[in-house]
């Protein structure tokens, strides 16, 4: 193929950093999921959906917005919401402002589940992430995460 350039290979330092990041990306979600399943009987993603709703006005939002905030496809979110509805923790209703949309609402039982589950989750996040970093490193991690996310999103 004419005009093709050689790849910009990672140097040794970049290779070590990349492998460390991949290890983090793979291990942290698994560790959080393990804690959540052990202590609360739900997945970390289930908790993310419930807790996202718990922090919104009226504990309600459109399914599309919830999918965006939970970093999930709408089909994946719908499947999880169906499971959470069976537990009585959520319900879906047509949006009265525009019937083309569906609202996801956290029930009182769902709120109780979040309140009971949050302390263990926060302890695990403190232990695994923030407890391992200095205050300056925590700020750097936030900035690095935002920059990489912007690059992924094309910005």
pLDDT at 2: 58
Q: Which whole number is the average pLDDT over 121-146? A: 97
**Structural tokens at position 2:** 């004419």
Query: How far are the Cα atoms of 18, 27, 108 from residue 155, in angstroms, in the given order?
Result: 21, 27, 39
Query: Residue for token digits 């990489």?
Result: 148
Per residue in 21-33, pLDDT (tens digit) is 999 999 999 999 9
DSSP conformation letters of 45-73: HHHHHHHHHHTSGGGEEEHHHHHHHTT--
* Alpha-carbon span 97 to 150, nearest angstrom: 32
Close Cβ partners of 18 (under 8 Å, ≥ 6 residues apart): 10
Query: How far are the Cα atoms of 55, 62, 70 from residue 113, in angstroms, in the given order?
Result: 14, 21, 18
Q: Which whole number is the average pLDDT over 40-58? A: 97
* Alpha-carbon span 69 to 53, nearest angstrom: 10
- DSSP lists the bridge partners of residue 93 as 103
Per residue in 101-126, pLDDT (tens digit) is 999 999 999 999 999 999 999 999 99
pLDDT at 6: 85
- DSSP lists the bridge partners of residue 102 as 94
Q: Give the chain's mean pLDDT.
A: 95
pLDDT at 1: 53
pLDDT at 4: 72
Residue percentage of the chain with pLDDT more than 70: 98
* Alpha-carbon span 106 to 1, nearest angstrom: 56
Residue percentage of the chain with pLDDT more than 90: 94
pLDDT at 3: 59
pLDDT at 9: 94
């Amino acid at each position: 193929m004419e005009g093709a350039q050689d790849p910009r290979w990672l140097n040794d330092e970049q290779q070590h950093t990349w492998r460390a990041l991949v290890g983090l990306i793979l291990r942290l979600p698994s560790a959080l999921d393990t804690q959540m399943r052990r202590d609360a009987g739900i997945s970390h993603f289930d908790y993310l959906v419930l807790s996202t709703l718990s922090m919104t006005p009226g504990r309600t939002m459109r399914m599309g917005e919830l999918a965006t905030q939970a970093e999930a496809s709408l089909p994946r979110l719908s499947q999880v919401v169906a499971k959470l509805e069976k537990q009585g923790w959520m319900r879906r209703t047509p949006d009265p402002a525009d019937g083309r949309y569906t609202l996801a609402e956290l029930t009182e039982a769902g709120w109780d589940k979040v309140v009971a589950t949050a302390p263990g989750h926060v302890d695990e996040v403190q232990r695994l992430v923030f407890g391992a970093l200095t205050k300056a490193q925590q700020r750097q991690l936030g900035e690095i995460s935002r920059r990489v996310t912007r690059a992924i999103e094309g910005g």
